[in-house]
Amino acid sequence: MPASPSSSAAVSVTVLGLGPMGRALAGAFLAAGVRTTVWNRTPGKDRELVERGAVSAPSAEAAVAASPLTVVCVVDYEAADAVLRRDAVAAALKGSTVVNLTADAPGRARATAAWAADHGVRYLDGAIMTPAPSIGTPGAVFLHSGPKDLYEEHLPVLRALGGTHNHLGEDIGRAAAYDIALLDVFWTAMAGYAHALAVAQAEGVSPTELVPFAQGIAAILPPLFEELAGDVESGSFSGAINPMTSAVSSMAHIVEASEAHGIDAGVMRAAEGMTRRAIGLGHGGDGIIRVAEVLGRG
């Protein structure tokens, strides 16, 4: 169960954005006994929350004026800024705190933080690393960045969302940097898995037949992540077990098998291209993670 928020008088929060994640956030606050005001650009999404005790605000400015803490969770920073930067909303926010859990690029987080500072708005950035059903449970994972004292001030209320909360540093863009990097791992893996299922099916292997072996591949990855991260930090890129010259051969086989069935191999061609670039720079005997160093050169 999530920890209860502070019992100080008038604990309240406003949630802007009532997509699946925003509704989950508001629901978790309500379940923890936090007075919760909600608002969404498209009306009608707050019905269930209102039935559970949420206050439906007639406007964004009324919503943010209702609470000392506003949590934002919308599709991207363009959508967030379109609400927050309205003159009436900015005026209502002055002196209060915004915790922006919207996913976007680190530069966008820093730009919004600069805007907030110029308008007297206290600002924390953040990211949610688990799906909506995890909110309010021990499995939820939240990343935060920005002023440590501001984070600690609002942590008792944020804990109502359940799970773990991680303050990653004072740099306001740091949570978004983690988010982008981790989602890079996730979506690249999902794209690879989708491609693998398509190729397997073309060869007469059903998805359910492939699953246990795919899970075996996935189980290899966690220790490799740790090992390869150490290689990048130390500058050691040993390819004694599997040099890039061997890896790129395997990639070429995947491309060939895919395209023989008319299956787009663009993702693997991109991976092969990056690897061949590193080999062309003289790193063929190194391990595949040398690609990270090569990419970092620009």
CATH number at residue 284: 1.10.1040.10
Q: Is residue 26 part of a domain?
A: yes
Q: Is residue 281 part of a domain?
A: yes
Element (H, E) at 72: strand 69-72
Same structural domain for residues 29 and 106? yes
For 117-157, the pLDDT digits (tens) are 999 999 999 999 999 999 999 999 999 999 999 999 999 99
The pLDDT of residue 8 is 38
Residues facing 72 on adjacent strands? 16, 100
Q: Is residue 195 part of a domain?
A: no
Q: Is residue 36 part of a domain?
A: yes
Instruction: Evaluate if residue 2 carries a pLDDT over 70.
Output: no
What range defines the domain where residue 280 resides? Answer: 206-296
Residues facing 35 on adjacent strands? 12
The answer to whether 41 touches 73, Cβ cutoff 8 Å, is: no
CA dist., res. 275 & res. 294, Å (int)? 9
User: Which residue is it, tokens 């075996």?
Assistant: 216
Same structural domain for residues 264 and 118? no
The pLDDT of residue 32 is 96
Distances (CA, A) of 21 to 102, 131, 134, 252: 10, 8, 10, 40
Instruction: Indicate the range of 24-28, 97-101, 230-234 predicted with least confidence.
Output: 230-234
For 239-266, the pLDDT digits (tens) are 888 999 999 999 999 999 999 999 999 9
Q: Is residue 193 part of a domain?
A: no
Count other C-beta atoms under 10 Å from residue 274's C-beta: 18
Q: Is residue 6 part of a domain?
A: no
Instruction: Evaluate if residue 7 carries a pLDDT over 80.
Output: no
Number of domains in the chain: 2
Q: Residue 122 maps to which CATH number? A: 3.40.50.720
Q: Is residue 197 part of a domain?
A: no
Of 170, 197, 222, which marks where a domain is finished?
Answer: 170
Same structural domain for residues 17 and 116? yes
Query: Which two tokens mark 274?
Result: 């990056």
Crossing angle of helices 207-234 and 174-202, rounded to 10°: 140
Q: Is residue 199 part of a domain?
A: no
